[in-house]
Amino acid sequence: MADKSSSNAYWTANVRVICICLAIWAVVSYGFGILLRPALSGIKVGGTDIGFWFAQQGSIVIFIALIFYYAIYMNKIDREFGVDEQ
């Protein structure tokens, strides 16, 4: 990363992926677990309704999946901008 425009492009890409991950997590945890829980109450998963599952388990599972996605995607961006660790 030699110049300022390259640095700005790198951080723009970084902030964009962070915002996307946070938006997905907010929709899953707040939207499915709280706001849409009554609408999802008829769908059963593991003996309970899916709204309760999202509130108790789903948001954590999605968060862990987003961590792995973020790590893989940031490695790709790092290689693209020449700031990877290898």
Mean of the per-residue pLDDT values of the chain? 87
* Residue 42, domain extent: 4-81
85 pLDDT more than 60: yes
d(Cα 35, Cα 15) in Å, to the nearest integer?
A: 27
Q: How far is CA 57 from CA 26, 46, 60, 72, in A?
A: 14, 11, 5, 23
The pLDDT confidence band at residue 69, using thresholds 50, 70 and 90, is very high
For residues 49 and 74, which has the higher predicted lDDT (pLDDT)? Answer: 74
64 domain-assigned: yes
d(Cα 6, Cα 84) in Å, to the nearest integer?
A: 14
57 domain-assigned: yes
The pLDDT confidence band at residue 45, using thresholds 50, 70 and 90, is confident
23 domain-assigned: yes
What is the reported pLDDT for 23?
95
Token digits of residue 50: 């899916």
Does an H or E element contain 49, and which? Answer: strand 48-49
What is the reported pLDDT for 2?
56
86 domain-assigned: no
d(Cα 2, Cα 7) in Å, to the nearest integer?
A: 8
